[in-house]
């Protein structure tokens, strides 16, 4: 078992800089367009255009240090590719022009500049988390193992809660190795006390096939009564949870609406957004809402503040809004911000403002 005292193997790279926070204020955040310049109010959801490093520094100077409950990030994976917008699903409310550059994931100088970029940001993210907060970092086979070493150093190995495998499956033309069909999500808590709500899979189909219907419409399956006291038996009978079979034996009714499916483990099988998906907004590497809803539901409470500093098309923000959380999304791609704004604006009763980072 990892312990606090165990030596952490360190990752070093050329031109590695010790990350020091700069107190020099070179940037500020200003409203986009003709929005009102309301005073900062941390109950306001927001979408921010800009490099997330100075944006995080600005947010900290506005009082956000130690107050974020959950951070999910899906940064570039060091894939060596550039990403272009795709055709959104026909009828999508979000309007996107196809084949425009959305963001780059190409790095001059190999892995070092990528790790340098991630390291600084992960350090700041830890500072922004509340003491019961958690960080979920979504990566893949390209550089995920290096990112894990950085995270162990920053958060402590003892705070790694899960290495989640997101398995999305699907066809692949690859014949020279096994098709690569999963990403990895590292789940670290800031301390040993953190928010976690177990998640459950839906009930298995065979239970619905086997179930019988109560006069009030509730579905149930029968079970042994088991070893229970007379008073418990009488209580269950009063509640209509005991019935007599044709052969005169007593059985118990287990109502399906009171049952939970199996607990979700660390392999999550959730389909990727395909070209026909109704969710598709046309942003490359858009993640499914089901994936983000699960992250948000397991590691935050209603009203908590959820942030995504590489928010792309705003999937985390939409999932947070639907789950009743407050949210902030940041991205340096104007295209991502346009799509996220339009996407969020189509939700009912949503309130948010947009700002961008500018030089002072």
Cα-flanking dihedrals φ and ψ of residue 349, to 5°? 55, 25
Binding of ligand SAM at residue 52 (CB under 6 A)?
A: yes
Measured CA distances, 262 to 167, 223, 224, 279 (Å): 18, 18, 20, 27
Q: Do residues 47 and 333 touch, judged by C-beta distance below 8 A? A: no
Instruction: From 8-16, 167-175, 254-262, 324-332, give the range in contact with ligand SAM by CB under 6 A.
Output: 324-332
Binding of ligand SAM at residue 78 (CB under 6 A)?
A: no
Instruction: From 22-30, 177-185, 278-286, 298-306, give the range in contact with ligand SAM by CB under 6 A.
Output: 278-286
Q: Do residues 152 and 160 touch, judged by C-beta distance below 8 A? A: yes
In the bound state with ligand SAM, the residue whose beta carbon lies nearer, of 111 and 332, is 332
> Taking the complex as a whole, how short is the minimal distance between the CB of residue 333 and ligand SAM, in angstroms?
3
In the bound state with ligand SAM, the residue whose beta carbon lies nearer, of 92 and 285, is 285
How far apart (Å, rounded) are the C-alpha atoms in residues 193 and 151? 18
In the bound state with ligand SAM, the residue whose beta carbon lies nearer, of 27 and 310, is 310
Q: Do residues 342 and 282 touch, judged by C-beta distance below 8 A? A: no
In the bound state with ligand SAM, the residue whose beta carbon lies nearer, of 117 and 242, is 117
> Taking the complex as a whole, how short is the minimal distance between the CB of residue 136 and ligand SAM, in angstroms?
11
How far apart (Å, rounded) are the C-alpha atoms in residues 225 and 233? 8
How far apart (Å, rounded) are the C-alpha atoms in residues 316 and 269? 18
**Strand 129-139 to strand 68-73: parallel, antiparallel, or no bridges (unpaired)?**
parallel
| Sheet with 129-139, side-by-side order of all strands | 27-31, 352-359, 45-49, 326-331, 305-308, 68-73, 129-139, 182-189, 160-167, 267-269
Question: Among all residues, whose Cβ is closest to ligand SAM?
Answer: 312
The binder of ligand SAM chosen from 88, 282, 312, 329 (CB under 6 A) = 312
Neighbours of 6 (CB within 10 A): 12
Instruction: From 18-26, 143-151, 298-306, 308-316, give the range in contact with ligand SAM by CB under 6 A.
Output: 308-316
Distance from chain centroid for Cα 200: 17
Binding of ligand SAM at residue 75 (CB under 6 A)?
A: yes
Binding of ligand SAM at residue 128 (CB under 6 A)?
A: no
Binding of ligand SAM at residue 132 (CB under 6 A)?
A: no
Instruction: From 33-41, 106-114, 231-239, 284-292, give the range in contact with ligand SAM by CB under 6 A.
Output: 284-292
> Taking the complex as a whole, how short is the minimal distance between the CB of residue 291 and ligand SAM, in angstroms?
9
In the bound state with ligand SAM, the residue whose beta carbon lies nearer, of 52 and 57, is 52
Task: List contacts with ligand SAM (CB under 6 A).
Answer: 51-52, 74-76, 103, 283, 285-287, 310, 312-313, 315, 330-333, 336
């Amino acid at each position: 078992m990892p312990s606090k005292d165990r030596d952490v193997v360190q990752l070093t790279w050329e031109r590695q800089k010790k990350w020091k926070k700069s107190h020099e204020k070179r940037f500020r955040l200003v409203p986009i367009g003709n929005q009102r310049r309301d005073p900062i109010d941390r109950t306001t959801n927001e979408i921010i255009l800009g490099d997330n490093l100075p944006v995080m520094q600005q947010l900290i100077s506005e009082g956000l240090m130690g107050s974020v409950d959950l951070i999910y990030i899906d940064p570039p994976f060091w894939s060596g590719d550039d990403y272009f917008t795709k055709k959104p699903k026909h009828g999508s409310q979000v309007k996107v022009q196809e084949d425009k550059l959305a963001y780059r994931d190409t790095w001059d100088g190999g892995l070092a500049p990528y790790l340098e970029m991630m390291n600084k940001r992960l350090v700041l993210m830890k500072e922004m988390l509340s003491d019961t907060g958690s960080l979920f970092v979504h990566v893949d086979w390209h550089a995920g193992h290096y990112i894990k070493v950085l995270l162990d150093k920053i958060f402590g190995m003892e705070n790694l809660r899960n290495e989640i495998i997101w398995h999305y499956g699907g066809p692949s033309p690859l014949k020279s190795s096994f098709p690569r069909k999963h990403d990895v999500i590292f789940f670290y808590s800031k301390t040993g006390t953190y928010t976690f709500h177990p998640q459950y899979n839906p009930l298995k189909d065979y239970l619905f096939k086997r179930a019988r219907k109560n006069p009030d419409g509730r579905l149930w399956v029968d079970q042994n009564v088991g070893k229970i006291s007379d008073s418990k038996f009488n209580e269950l009978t009063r509640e209509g949870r005991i019935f007599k079979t044709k052969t005169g034996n007593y059985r118990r009714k287990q109502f399906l609406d009171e049952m939970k499916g199996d607990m979700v483990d660390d392999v999550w099988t959730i389909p990727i957004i395909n070209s026909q998906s109704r969710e598709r907004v046309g942003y490359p590497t858009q993640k499914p809402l089901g994936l983000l809803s699960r992250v948000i539901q397991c590691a935050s409470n209603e009203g908590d503040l959820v942030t995504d500093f590489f928010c792309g098309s705003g999937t985390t923000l939409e999932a947070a809004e639907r789950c009743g959380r407050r949210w902030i999304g940041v991205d340096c791609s104007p295209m991502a911000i346009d799509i996220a704004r339009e996407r969020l604006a189509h939700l009912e009763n949503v309130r948010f403002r947009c700002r961008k980072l500018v030089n002072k």
